[in-house]
Amino acid sequence: MTEVVGTLLETTGWTDYALLDMGAGEKLERYGELTVVRPEPQAMGPRRLSAETWAAAGAAFTGDTEEEGPGRWRTTTRLSTWEMSVLGLPFICQLTSFRHVGVFPEQIVHWSWMADRIRARVSAGGDRPRLLNLFGYTGLASLVAASAGAEVTHVDASKKAVQWARDNQALAGLDAAPIRWIVDDAVKFCEREVRRGKAYDGILLDPPRFGRGPEGEVWSLNEDLPHMLDLVRRILAPGPSFMILTAYAIRASFLSIHELAADLVGHRQGRLESGELVLVETGDPTRPGRRLSTSMFSRFEGAS
Ligand SMILES: C[S@@+](CC[C@H](N)C(=O)[O-])C[C@H]1O[C@@H](n2cnc3c(N)ncnc32)[C@H](O)[C@@H]1O
């Protein structure tokens, strides 16, 4: 297996998304028609845009600076939901009490990579590739995969998140796309798939640091990731299948997840690449944008 460590996968945004500025412990971003301010412990430098630009944001999150902590939005906008689009797919945004708005923009690099591989499989002929999206949240990766030609199984513990994902499916006009929406604990679901002898051509997992299954099952990334990855290894099809793991809000180097993944897929022919997902600031056109690391990733692609 080839190993590539230390890759920075950068996103400079797209029509509907921009990281405009960061500094003094906060970041200023544009999500479609709404500009928002959120806490960002890594924004240690000075702000580049004016105080007026920051003050004109439609919503600002105040509260716990920990990624998973609760908090509130202070708003000057009347928007409670609005639309934006990614890779040609429209979706719904909302201000949630967990500071998120329904999309993690840095994930676009993984979604494009995944969609390229699905399209290549589809154009090579044969059955639709099977894609498993664990901790799938508002379903954007599931919709990107389905529109590229995959048959998708989407798993999330939250009924509310799955409903949001279904609403996104309807908005994108993908009602007829082959997507199974499953409200379940990701670990329990994978244990069942191992017992059933199921196999997937692609598996995405973007687990939170802490979470709960629908029946109160506790998910703790540090404790449960090794078992989860072992299950993933067992349901990942042989040959040119792929796995994309992202982890955020944990105090660790990407090497920790790289080595874990290497132990699990090291016996296979293929390529394992690890590093960080990075947003690049674009608000000041007169200067090169600063980079902001949002999360760490490891992705594996089996050789054909
Ligand atoms: C931050 S989101 C993942 C983001 C998503 N991959 C994306 O980019 O759109 C984490 C998700 O994990 C779900 N979750 C938390 N604990 C879970 C568990 N034990 N089993 C399944 N899903 C869980 C939450 O409901 C939430 O939707």
Q: What is the mean pLDDT of residues 228-250?
A: 95
Instruction: Check pocket membership of 297 for ligand 1, CB cut-off 6 A.
Output: no
Q: What is the structure's pLDDT at 65?
A: 54
Instruction: Check pocket membership of 160 for ligand 1, CB cut-off 6 A.
Output: no
Q: Is pLDDT at 68 greater than 60 in this prediction?
A: no
Instruction: Check pocket membership of 140 for ligand 1, CB cut-off 6 A.
Output: yes
Q: Which residues of 22-55 are buried (b: 16+ CB within 10 A; e: fewer)?
A: bbeebbbbbbbebbbbbbbeebeeebbbeeeebe
Bridge partners (DSSP) of residue 146 are: none
Minimum-distance ligand 1 atom for the alpha carbon of 156: 22
Compute the distance between CA of residue 142 and CA of residue 138 in angstroms, rounded to an integer. Answer: 9
Q: What is residue 86's three-state secondary structure?
A: strand
At residue 262, φ and ψ (nearest 5 deg) are: -65, -40
Amino acid at 205: L
Q: Is pLDDT at 76 greater than 70 in this prediction?
A: yes
Q: What is the mean pLDDT of residues 198-224?
A: 96
Ligand 1 mean position, distance from CA 160 (Å): 11
pLDDT in tens, 118-153: 999 999 997 899 999 999 999 999 999 999 999 999
pLDDT in tens, 102-115: 999 999 999 999 99
Determine the CATH number of domain 2-12+104-302. Answer: 3.40.50.150
Compute the distance between CA of residue 234 and CA of residue 54 in angstroms, rounded to an integer. Answer: 48
pLDDT in tens, 2-39: 999 999 999 999 999 999 999 999 999 999 999 999 99
Instruction: Check pocket membership of 142 for ligand 1, CB cut-off 6 A.
Output: no
pTM of the predicted structure, to 2 decimals:
0.96
Q: Is pLDDT at 70 greater than 80 in this prediction?
A: no
Q: What is the structure's pLDDT at 80?
A: 80
pLDDT in tens, 29-62: 999 999 999 999 999 999 999 999 999 999 999 8
Q: What is the structure's pLDDT at 249?
A: 74
Taking the CA atoms of 14, 89, 214 and 221 in sequence, report the sign of the dihedral they define: negative
